[in-house]
Structure 1
Amino acid sequence: MNYNINFQIAALIIVILLLYHFLTQKKLYNINARTFTYVLVLGGLYILLDLLSTLVFMNYRAEHETVILLVITIAYLFDVMLPYILYCCVCIISGEKQRKISGTSAVCTAITVVMLLLILGNIKSGWFFYFDESGTFVTGSGYIFLYIYALAYAVLVIVSAIRNRGENITRKMGIVGEFLVLEGVCMVIQMYTQRLLLTGFGLALGLVFLYLTINNPGDYVDSITGVFDKQYFDKWIEEKLDKKAEFHLIATEFYMLKQVNKVYGSSVGDQMLIQAAQGIQEITGSSQVFRITGNCFLAVAESMAEYETNKQKMEEFFRKPFELNGEKIDFPAVICGIMDGGKMKHEDVILSYIEYLASLIKNTDETVVIQSDDRILEGFHYEKEVEQFLKTAVEQDLFEVYYQPIYWNKEERYITLEALSRLRHPNMGMIPPDVFIGIAEKQGMIAQVGLLQFRRVCRFVKEHEYLMKTLKNVKFNLSPSELLKTGHIQLLINMIREYGLSPRYFQFEITETVATEYSESFCQAVEDFQKAGIGLCLDDFGSGYANLNTVLKLPFSVVKMDRSLLTGVTCDEQAAVFYRSIVMVMQNMGYHIVAEGAETKEEVDLLQTWGVDMIQGYYFSRPLPENELLKLFDKE
């Protein structure tokens, strides 16, 4: 019988080209990529042997029967192996862990081994196929089991897809389903026509589908820098952690990227990232470099010696300015070293730890290396425990409000209070406010915390409204996210009305940094406060680089001097002159001044001499819980 082998030749060419492109692209280091490589190689060999066996059929000679049987037997061995490898590939795609052998996998392996042995035994038994005396190829009584075997694996694929439903997995399994349908159609056509050999061609097209949609390395490469992206890191780290493999990580965060983009433009920022990525790859000599965030790369070291060497070389590399279009531009980095990353057990913990390490480096414009150690790791675990407790605290309203009285120099008494958030952990005790407030802002919970706290303040003022006969107001801090969140300010105003309190009882503190960012949302918040008759206080004045022209256009009646400005005023004449000058200028412009952070008598004496209106600090009173605050005012 003459067969049409054109489709087989085309299939072989397709698989060879596909294998070439797959192997010459950036290499993926995970079980999915390895399995697909096996499928490609096995598929190519299957098509090649199918082509050879067809040529043997077409040129049969009795004296070559043994060689012909051997070639056909090898072809059928690959025919048996291919469904098994495809099933393994599908299991990996669907999320089943092939490293942990399940009962189904064990049975499949056993059946495949039996089928392979039966194929080998066919040379003598002729159970699957043989050549009769006339040289005609004859299928044996067991040939039907090859179809049953292939059908069984098709059913297993469907079962696996149903068992592992999920949006991403369903999409991938749909592609696998299309592959099986295509191969099935080709098989039916081949069975019907006999002469038209299409199964190899269907296999080749199916492999192209899998490559383009699931196993294309290009899908996991960052389009700007050419290193692997976060999506691939998720797959890579999951496999590493499952294997409990030893590896070390070096994260490089470019904290000046935003400034570079602002000064030079985003295209220059992209070029800096490209140079950084190339430098990291050259230093590590590895393609296992990932861009996990917009300004952070992660490199992997397999040994401690490699880790130490690479970390040192990276520090030297990023201490030097980058050169772009003949101009030298500094592009410093925070280099975070994590030894034995497998001990962290979870990907999200590793990424959170990198973020934590980078956050420890502040107020620098140089490349800095921070190495993980037991002390830092303990601080990280403390913060994670606080983060977990914070969710419970929000759900159960476990926060407390402390009040720090503010002293009025003119009448020598307390004139106002600042409401301050406190959180007590049942085992760790009081959690520092800057810790839990920072976490709340990062986790997007600060608005909820603020509403819970302000309700407590309103309740306290309502229950002890007599205090407002001597107090001018109660000050309450607002975070940037609270100010800019649509509708949040109106919730605060409505809460005041809900308790039937006068708006003049409250004054909201806004930091100078937020006041400088003159956004539409911020202007709307200020307008809402004005309409409601609620006063505003400019907080932390002098802590940053504010645009005074912008800030002073806003309707603040009180300016609170940042505590950092008070440092050294008792022993540094320049610091004292600077502080006194700011006080004079602000008072001449009609603002009342609050000096924050006064702790000694010398500081208080100077502030009173300079005519500061109000003083807040531990010299007069620390922040007090409600009961102690009431006792303090009862004495007065």
Structure 2
Amino acid sequence: MKPYIKIRGREAGPVVHYNMSFQIAAIVLVLLVTVHFILQKKLHDTGTKIFLAVLLLGGLYIVLDFLGTLLIFAYSRENAQLIELLLTCFYTFDVLFPCILYGYIRNMLKSQEGRFSSVRRILLAVIPVFMLILVWGNIQTGWFFEFDGQNDFVIGPWHFWLYIYDIVYVVLVISHLANNLRGYNQWKRYVFWEFLLVEGFCMGIQFYTESQLLSGFGMALGIILLYLTLSNSGDCVDGMTGIFDKQYFDHWIQEKIRRNTEFHILAMEAYRLKQVNKIYGTSVGDQLLIQIADGIRTVTGSSQIFRVTGNCLLVVEDSLTAYERDRERIQAYFQKPLEVGEEKVDFPVVICGIINGQKMGQEDMLVGYIEYLAGLVRNTDETVVIQSDNRILEGFRYEKEVEHFLKTAVEQDLFEVYYQPVYSLKEKRFITLEALSRLRHPDMGMIPPDVFINIAERQGEISQIALLQFRRVCGFVKENEQIMEKIKNVKFNLSPSELMKPGYSQKLIDVIREYGLKSEYFQFEITESVATEYSESFCSAVEDFNKAGIQLCLDDFGSGYANLNAVLKVPFAVVKIDRSLLNGICSDVQAADFYRSIVMIMKSMGYMIVAEGAETEEEVELLGKWGVDMIQGFYFSRPLPEKDILKII
């Protein structure tokens, strides 16, 4: 069924046929997308609402375009006035559709944009009104369409202005979406421009050929593009647990923060997951996560559940009442063993509670704060609830400020080196120095070393910092070579990441040679936790140091659970006993006997012994009686800056 068309002004032009195949295909495509979109799990965020508006309005546009074509087929003299009136109504929607869609999108994103200028507001109001007047005037004038004496549909001389009008609004809608949907990746923003190109291309073909009704088909293709790339909730669901993933959480929660919408978070940190995987296997660990996700969904009744890291699930509640209710339910849920097959597994978690999460400002701050809260709980076998408060939040913000400042400190080399002298009980003088990194913030003052060092290790910057600091140490020694006459060596701490990094040991040796210093003048301190790993990279580093004549010092011995067999494989020259073992040696017989036994064993194996942390005269006297070689502690000296260490040497 193909109606004939004559174009006004073409007296001898060829007969043109409407092709309705693209209209039918467009309706089928939009129906399929609508069904998939409705059936998918999703949260009602701005992106979802906008796409739903595009889907409904676009679908209505396509259907009305199809019905308008059917009316052209049904035209006869008997129903001429009714059909012309209905077609005028369809043309009216053709004018209103772009305007309504643009206004709706602006309203949904009003929190991100400024007001219209007066001129722009007038233009956006006047142009649609003017177009509507022209459309309804068509009944008398035939400016856009009319039926001739042979009942053929004839396009009027102003019909092409409808295409221009639509294109203008398509550009406005797409550009506005592209500029405001900040949560999407850059490459996804190009989809809006693809939508523009597809719709513009189809409208251009329809305008040129007059017979191929492609504007609705272009709309359908554009809707499919938006669905597949921006509004396909299936792409934002965690494949294992079936709950929403971090990508969706970032976008969804950032919108709530931007709109200052109240929300509260309960995060479950499954810190035992690694242990469960080792004991029962990863398949059991995966089943536990699936079971936990289902359990949390059941006890809370919430759909706002996310998996933001491998072992962290969280629930977002919109009211404080729901938050407090779910906190108790979740805590009760994890106090019972979980069953996986025939196994009953105790699976305690750390439940982190954050009230008024919108005040955090950014989604990455929220995730970082959850990790910070979970990190405050150590060595527990029970489910623990840790509730955010002002004191904890201040601690987190302090670390974030240090983290931000650390990048500047690395770029500008703002670190300092302090030296703590080590006292020889035999020679009655300082015979070695330990180089210690320090960092001073312009406003917060001196930052505790354990704070910025831990942050640097998390960010992967510790190797770069250590290399900068070691250069500073070598430069200090080179400028003050007289200290080498009194100080036997300088000790420098190395972190696990440095020792595990291939080729890093050779970089340190090259720095020593660059300053023309003897390698034997340096000792590198290694913690017992690193020594027990004894990896291939670590062995290679130890071999490089031995070849260069650099001695190794075992640092913080006794602070952990060392595998002595692995430790003894490393050719240490010095063992530093951790300060924690000094606790109670002056009053507790067992503590004293334990410390003395360690000294005796290590001395019998040929190690030089350094006692860390001595602060009283009584402690120093006991350590001397037990055969300790050197003492490093506040009793003799605190870590000092370069100018002060030169004075006491």
TM-score higher than 0.5: yes
Counterpart pick for 1:485 among 501, 524, 527: 501
SS in 1 for 2:307: strand
Secondary structure of the corresponding residue to residue 275 of structure 1: helix
Q: Deviations over 1:576-625 (max 9, x none)?
A: 33323322222222222222122233333332232222222222222223
Q: Distance in 2 between matches of 1:190 and 1:4?
A: 10
Do structure 1's residue 43 and structure 2's residue 70 form an aligned pair? no
**Residue in structure 2 matching 1:31, options 25, 31, 46:** 46
Q: Following superposition of structure 1 onto structure 2, how do residues 224-243 of structure 1 map, counting pairs within 5 Å?
A: 224-243=240-259
Classify the secondary structure of the residue corresponding to 2:454: helix
Matches within 5 A, 1:14-413: 14-65=29-80, 67-84=82-99, 100-103=114-117, 106=121, 107-108=123-124, 111-112=127-128, 114-116=130-132, 118-119=134-135, 127-131=143-147, 136-154=152-170, 156=172, 171-172=187-188, 174-183=190-199, 186-187=202-203, 197-413=213-429
Bigger CA drift: 169-178 or 622-631?
169-178
**Preserved contact between residue 42 and residue 78 of structure 1 (Cα < 8 Å):** no
Displacement of 1:321 after TM fit? 2.7
Q: Deviations over 1:195-218 (max 9, x none)?
A: 664443443333223322332111
- 1:539 Cα deviation after fit: 0.9
Q: Could you say if the C-alpha distance between residues 122 and 297 of structure 1 is closer, same or farther in structure 2, counting changes exceeding 3 Å?
A: farther
Query: 2:254 & 2:181 partners in 1: Cα distance?
Result: 19
1:120–1:435: structure 2 CA closer, same or farther, 3 Å change rule? farther
Distance in 2, Cα, partners of 1:464 & 1:244:
59
Rate the CA distance shift 1:100–1:274 in 2: closer, same or farther, 3 A.
farther
Residue type at the aligned position of 2:648: L
Q: Distance in 2 between matches of 1:495 and 1:165?
A: 49
- Aligned residues of 1:15 and 1:44 also touching (Cα < 8 A): yes
Contact 1:36 1:89 in 2 (8 A): no
Q: 1:462 to 1:176 in 2, by over 3 A?
A: closer
2:10 is matched with which residue? none
Q: 1:445 aligns with which of 444, 461, 467?
A: 461
Letter in 2 for 1:261: N
Q: Distance in 2 between matches of 1:463 and 1:345?
A: 48
- Give, in whole Å, the separation in 2 of the partners of 1:48 and 1:164: 29
For 2:102 and 2:314, the matched residues in 1 are separated by 33
Number of the residue aligned with 1:580 = 596
Q: Deviations over 1:177-228 (max 9, x none)?
A: 5545554555566567766644434433332233223321111112222222
Tell me what 1:596 maps to.
612
Please state how far the C-alpha of 1:91 moved relative to its aligned partner.
9.2
Question: Equivalents in 1 of 2:385, 2:20: separation in Å?
Answer: 63
In structure 1, how many angstroms separate the alpha carbons of the residues matched to 2:400 and 2:413?
Answer: 19
Paired position in structure 1 for 2:26: 11
* Kept after mapping to 1: 8 A contact 2:174/2:192: no
Say yes or no: does 1:624 pair with 2:640: yes
CA distance in 2, matches of 1:345, 1:129: 55
The answer (yes or no) to whether the contact 1:405–1:417 under 8 Å persists in 2 is: yes
Name which of 434, 444, 447 aligns with 1:418.
434
1:307 positional shift:
1.8
Residues 39 and 85 of structure 1 are in contact (CA less than 8 Å); yes or no, is this contact kept in structure 2? no
Q: Secondary structure at the match of 2:164?
A: helix
Displacement after TM superposition at 1:426 (Å) = 3.1
Structure 2: gaps spanning 5 or more residues? 4-17
Superposition TM-score, scaled by structure 1 size: 0.89
| Distance in structure 2 (CA, Å) of the matches to 1:263 and 1:503 | 46
Q: Distance in 2 between matches of 1:529 and 1:231?
A: 45
Q: Contact 2:160 / 2:207 at 8 angstroms: preserved in 1?
A: no
1:348 shift after superposition:
2.9
Q: Which one-letter code corresponds to 1:559 in the other structure?
A: V
User: Is the CA contact (8 Å cut-off) linking 2:177 and 2:192 kept in structure 1?
Assistant: no
Give the distance between the partners of 1:470 and 1:400, measured in 2 at CA.
23
* Residues paired across the two proteins, number: 632
Describe the shift of the 1:120–1:284 C-alpha distance in structure 2 as closer, same or farther (beyond 3 A).
farther
Instruction: Check conservation: 1:420, 1:476, Cα contact below 8 A.
Output: yes
Tell me which amino acid in the other structure corresponds to 2:470. F
Q: Structure 1, unaligned stretches of length 5 or more?
A: none
1:511/1:538 contact within 8 Å kept: yes
Paired AA for residue 554 in structure 1: V
Does the alignment pair 1:464 with 2:480?
Answer: yes
Secondary structure of the 1:402 match is strand
Amino acid at match of 2:571: P
> How large is the Cα RMSD of the aligned pairs?
3.4
TM-score relative to the length of structure 2: 0.87
The superposition leaves residues 479-532 of structure 1 with CA deviations (integer Å, 9 ceiling, x where unpaired) of 112222333322221222222222222111001111112222211211111111
Q: State how far apart, in whole Å, the 2-side matches of 1:192 and 1:466 are.
A: 90
The residue type equivalent to 1:452 in the other structure is L
Q: Structure 1 pair 112/97, CA: closer, same or farther in 2 (3 Å)? A: farther
Q: Is the 8 A contact 1:247 1:342 kept in 2?
A: yes
Structure-1 separation of matches of 2:532 and 2:520:
25
Amino acid at match of 1:13: V
Equivalent in the alignment of 2:545 = 529
* Conserved? CA contact 1:39–1:82, under 8 Å: no
Cα deviation per residue 1:67-93 (whole Å; 9 max; x = unaligned)? Answer: 434543443344334445676899999
Residue of structure 1 in register with 2:447 after alignment: 431
Q: Distance in 2 between matches of 1:553 and 1:280?
A: 48
Sort the Cα spacing of 1:21 and 1:608 in 2 relative to 1 into closer, same or farther, 3 A.
same
Amino acid at match of 2:617: K
Q: Is residue 407–residue 416 contact of structure 1 (8 Å, CA) maintained in 2?
A: yes
Tell me how far apart the structure 2 counterparts of residues 426 and 64 of structure 1 sit (CA, whole Å). Answer: 84
Partner deviation per Cα, 1:102-145 (whole Å, 9 max, x = no partner): 55985546534554565466567755334567655444454232
Matched residue SS, 1:380: helix
The more displaced of 506-515 and 540-549 is 540-549
Cα pair distance change 1:88/1:359, threshold 3 Å? farther
Q: CA deviation at 1:46?
A: 2.2
The one-letter amino acid of 1:38's match is A
